[in-house]
Amino acid sequence: MKLAMIGFGQAGGKITDRFLEYDSTRGTGIIGHAVAVNTAKADLMGLDYVPNENRVLIGQSVVKGHGAGTEPELGERCAREDMEEIQSAIDQMTSSEIDAFLIVAGLGGGTGSGGAPVLAEHLQRLYVEPVYGLGVLPARDEGGIYNRNAARSFQEFVKNVDNLLGFDNDAFKTGGESLGEGYSEINSQIVTRFGALFSAGEVEALGDDVAESVVDASEIINTLGEEGISSVGYASEEIETEEKGLLGRLRGGNDDNGLESSGDATNRITSLVRRATLGKLTLQCEVDSTERALLLVSGPPDALNRKGIDKARKWLEQKTGCMEVRAGDYPLPNEDRVAAIVVLSGVTEVPRVKEMQRLAIEAEENVEQLQAESKEDLENLIEYGDDEE
């Protein structure tokens, strides 16, 4: 599936950059066009892969290239004022080349949080292709302001896209290392999941290794639908290549003929799909609140089989309770891993979003309380001053 990808804000730009890296090293051809939009000049300059002419600095008259901090209102204003410049960078592509737009943004800050929903609304008006969002939620410990920004932005973003693919930094953060290293690791998790999903629809890249049951762009589009939230599950397993199998046998570790039976492949597929669905999702949700689902299995052709995929699809139908479950495979001859991707689309039970809204209300109340307290303090100070006179 070919995307026009727009990274909005710092996180959005960095993640778009990583998608371009993934696309160029694997030759998947999923990015038809890539644009990075930001109010901070330094963030745009720090990108490696987005072409220079597609880096758009907005809001220069408002924030002078210094960013929008944690103020989504500023991000929104800069986006509205400079929409024409964003549009002309997007116009560099010919829309017949792409299947959909994907706007990527971290929702806790200012630029992406405020700007991404505005851009989505604009693109929906102008293009017939679907417009999707990839919205990154802040970690819980980033604090009230970030959660409040994200809660508001999430609401606006959902309203303006055909589907909002959620990703929760909190579920993927790793303890210990610096923030930069942490994000780099999280970003590779993002790209692994969504890159594999969109690659599956890019069937041209397969060449002669045509899949048994191909998932094309229209099936991804039908799964994502025209409104709602999606979450993605992923699980993978390294498989024994012929060489490793031989080594294993020489070491006496394997006394069969070293070839895998189709039963093994079937079991591996069903177990990976279970792990992908019941393990860590990009956005934690109740699996049985899914409206439509898609499952994809990629890996070396020998490790893929229709029986495994059929069994896994039936299991997923049962687990999600929905009848609209699409399934397919994606042969990757040079891979030594089998991977399962599960898209849960139109999910309605998403505890993290509820929690973010609660944190947002608490943050609002704190702000009001602080304002009231400082007003009282000021009044006391002035009164005190009066007494002294």
Q: Residue 70 CB, nearest distance to ligand GDP (Å)? A: 7
Residue carrying structure tokens 């992406």: 112
Q: What are phi and psi of 232, to 5 degrees?
A: -125, 135
Label each residue of 224-288 as H, E or C. Answer: HCCCCEEEEEEEEEECCCHHHHHHHHHCCCCCCCCCCCHHHHHHHHHHHHHHHHHCCECCCCCHH
187 part of the interface to ligand GDP, by CB under 6 A? yes
β strands within the chain, DSSP E: 3-8, 31-38, 55-57, 100-106, 131-137, 163-168, 229-238, 292-299, 325-331, 337-345
Q: Residue 90 CB, nearest distance to ligand GDP (Å)? A: 18
User: Considering beta carbons, is residue 169 or 298 the nearer one to ligand GDP?
Assistant: 169
Q: Binding string, 111-150, against ligand GDP, x = CB under 6 A? A: xxx----------------------x-x---x---x----
Name the nearest CA neighbour of 138 among 46, 11, 17. 11
195 part of the interface to ligand GDP, by CB under 6 A? no
On the CB side of 108, CA atoms within 13 Å amount to: 20
Q: How far apart are CA 18 and CA 14, in angstroms?
A: 6
Which stretch, 156-164, 183-191, 233-241, 253-261, contacts ligand GDP (CB under 6 A)? 183-191
Among 54, 169, 270, 305, binds ligand GDP (CB under 6 A): 169
11 part of the interface to ligand GDP, by CB under 6 A? yes
59 part of the interface to ligand GDP, by CB under 6 A? no
79 part of the interface to ligand GDP, by CB under 6 A? no
110 part of the interface to ligand GDP, by CB under 6 A? yes
Name the nearest CA neighbour of 346 among 277, 295, 280, 285. 285
Among 4, 10, 228, 272, binds ligand GDP (CB under 6 A): 10
Residue count (the chain): 389
47 part of the interface to ligand GDP, by CB under 6 A? no
Q: Residue 238 CB, nearest distance to ligand GDP (Å)? A: 26
Q: Residue 9 CB, nearest distance to ligand GDP (Å)? A: 2
Q: Measured at the alpha carbon of residue 64, what is the angle toward residues 61 and 65, in degrees to the nearest 5?
A: 125
106 part of the interface to ligand GDP, by CB under 6 A? yes
Residues near ligand GDP (CB under 6 A): 9-11, 14, 68, 106, 108-113, 136, 138, 142, 146, 169, 183, 186-187
